Every structure is written in C-alpha cells, then in structure tokens.
Structure 1
C-alpha cells in the first residue's frame, strides 16, 4: 500500500552536529551511508561521545561529506562553523575551538563505510518521522513553527493521508522505499532534552519537551531496522508491506 513519499533525507556525518540534506544515498546495514560515522569523544568523561546534551552549540556546526560515496573509505568530512568558517573535521583550529567552547578535552573517532556500531547511531538503524505528526506537534505546542531538525530524523515522510502518528501503528511491519530498500519498524523514539535545542541558534526551550512528555508520553518518531539495503532518493515512494 502506497502511504507517502520521502520528503527529506538527512544524515549526520558527525554525531550531534547539524546534518546534511542529500538527494540520494545508500542504505547500508547500519542505516544511512555515513550516518554518525565520525564523532568527538569527551575525554573528561572517560571517552563518552561529546553530544548536544552537554554542549548544545554542536547543533550550529554543519558537517557534510565532500566527494563520492565509496564503500572502501568515506569522503572527506567538512565542517562549517556558526561563523561560516570551513575546516576539515580534524583541523587543529577547529578542535581547539570546540574544546574552548565545550570546556572539555576532546579526541576523534571514526568508523568504516561498512560498519557503524549502534552506539553512535543511537538505538536503531534509522529514525523516521512524518509531516502529519510534526504538524500535530505544532498544534499542541502552540508555537508558529516546529523545525523537524529538532527531532533529527533520517527520513522525513510526506504522507498521502495526513493522519498524525500513523507511523506508530506500523510498528512490527515493513516499509519498502523506492524499488530496493526494505526496513522493519521496531519501536517508538523516546525523546530527551535534545529536542529543546533550536538548530539555528542553540537556544533552549524546555516547553517542547514538556509538551511531548505530557501529550505523547515522550514519543515522537519511530525507529526502523534495515532489512534490504540499496539506494534511496528524495521523492521515492513509501509502501507499507
């Protein structure tokens, strides 16, 4: 059954940094090609990942791949700072800036195109959200706009029938995206303080999290496990199997 199409594809080459919007990419066994494949480690916390939770301004740094998506190695990862400067992700000046702002000693870690463990990705391979659900959140929150980037989905789906949270009813079933990719929806995404951080200015508004807790039992979006890998594109049809 055709339920909608892919409106946006977003991957995050660096964990907790702003993501990049892509028109097409590969779905690997671990999720989107290169998603959370690079990360900064917080050496003040025994090598835990440095994340928005402890350093909200990370959302204002934009990371992207520059080059072809090879299976042997990742393209170069480029970072644009909030001030518009562009660095290689391991550039010493960038690292010094991040350490100064976060007040933490950091180091880097990266994985391979064939394997990114669940740790940096989160709970599951892919996070999906829908336009109907986002519009309902806007209504119950009572603000003019709700930027879907707050929720950091990989796939943002435009539904044919605008039924809020219909994706939650798909848990336990499979979706086919385009002609190749299949994934199984496996559970709710429980939300934390990260959604309170404005992706443009890093300012926090706790009222959004409180609204999601009260009205949605902390849930927004659903996780999916990859069943069949392949290529996906913006505007690909989404079929419920």
Structure 2
C-alpha cells in the first residue's frame, strides 16, 4: 500500500505550467498522468526555426527573455489554457490572435503548439524540491528563497533543517497520498533561468553560482511516474526504497 515505508514529509505546494516557460498556476489538487501533472507544459511557444522557447539555448530550446512575465492557467471548465500578458490581457492559446500578440510583444515570429510525441519538459515529467533544500540554499544566500523561482511541480515539506536532502533519493520510490507512486531520478541541473524574475516573483539573490559551488549546479530532483492517480496539498509522502 502507498503508506508503507518511511514518512519523509507532506505535499506543501503543487504547481503546473500550462504553457512552458511562462509563470505557472498553484493547485490544491492535481491528477498525475504518465507524463506528469495533467496539462503541465502541454503547450509551448515556438520560434520561427522550430525551437521551443525557454530560458536557455540548446539544440531544442531558444531563449526568449521576458516570457516569464506572462502567465498561463486553466480554470477547470475549459481544457484550453489562457495565456495572460503582463498587463493582464487574456488570450486563448488556440486563438491565432495569441500568436500575433506574442509576435508583436517580442519582435519576432512566435507561434503556439501542443505537445505530441515531442515532450516540452526540459529533463523529466516531474520536478520536485523540498523545504530542506530551500532552507539549505537560504542559508548559503543569507535570506529566504522563493520556491517558485525553481518552477517545481511539487514542493515537499520535509522540515526546516538546512540540508540538500533529496540528492540522496536517486533511485528510490516515493508514494504520495493513497494512489501515486513516483521514482526519483537524478538531480535537476540548473541554468540562469532561476535568477530571472517572473510574474509575481522577484529574482532575489542570485543562486546559480552558490549551487555550482555547493551542490553540483543542481537543485531539486527529476522524477518519473510509476503509478498514476490524484494528489493534493497535505498528502503524506513516504519513501519506499529502491525503485523498479
């Protein structure tokens, strides 16, 4: 059963990002699918050369500074996300006017596409951080650290002791609530995106250098879904040993 194992904490917060690289949406409950939280990063903004907009440049991704000032959300009644400009103007992502608005705002041709077999996630379907790691980083930086800077799907309340706790979880299973089981993979590599402001979140003290020196340029962990189901804020999280 899911609650068998060692309790490690509870779900403190849940976030999804209906449009990749935009500011996301806090949730009280979420459905977990094989590809992560339902509707998470289902849509993305694309550049004229087919790159997926992000905070970094790779073979797949293209930086578009300022996109984090836009927000995306689903209201539960409509499966098509709304994208909001920094001025609060809402646009349906399937409306051609939305691409026109982005193109005008950023001075380059931009379009919106749904994910298909090509996933929009950078590294993994799920990303989680713990309050222990947030406390450890806050100690290094000399002040509180906003969890949303790191764009997690799950924030786990593991207490306030400053420790990069989850880096020792690679390969283990975590049961969340009564249904969901995930396997923790590697640590989450970080880029300059964590030091950029986003809608509703100031950048704060730069963290990338501190993570490079003290935690191998990682923060939080990647995870994959072993058992789908529903999770919610407050759910117990138990460690069940080596993943399959």
Normalised by the length of structure 1, the TM-score is 0.87
- Answer whether contact 2:148 2:201 (CA < 8 A) is retained: no
Deviations 1:206-233 (A, max 9, x none): 8321121122110100011100001111
Partner of 1:71: none
Q: Distance in 2 between matches of 1:82 and 1:91?
A: 18
Q: Distance in 1 between matches of 2:104 and 2:164?
A: 41
State which of 109, 115, 127 in structure 1 corresponds to 2:113. 109
- Answer whether contact 1:132 1:163 (CA < 8 A) is retained: yes
Counting only pairs closer than 5 Å after superposition, residues 1-241 of structure 1 correspond to structure 2 as 1-43=6-48, 46-53=49-56, 54-68=63-77, 75-111=79-115, 117=117, 119-142=119-142, 144-160=143-159, 162=161, 164-200=163-199, 207-241=206-240
Q: Distance in 2 between matches of 1:18 and 1:201?
A: 8
Offset, 1:80: 2.0
Structure-2 change in CA distance of 1:234 and 1:228 (3 Å): same
Offset, 1:196: 1.0
State the 4+ residue runs in structure 1 displaced beyond 6 angstroms. 201-206
For the aligned residue pairs, the C-alpha RMSD in angstroms reads 2.1
Report the count of equivalent residues: 229
Deviations 1:135-158 (A, max 9, x none): 21112123x332111111100000
Q: Structure 2 unaligned segments of length 5 or more: list them.
A: 1-5, 57-62
- Answer whether contact 1:56 1:202 (CA < 8 A) is retained: no
- Answer whether contact 1:30 1:117 (CA < 8 A) is retained: no
Q: Distance in 1 between matches of 2:42 and 2:148?
A: 19
Offset, 1:91: 3.8
Which secondary structure state, in structure 2, belongs to the residue aligned with residue 121 of structure 1?
A: coil
Q: Distance in 2 between matches of 1:85 and 1:107?
A: 17
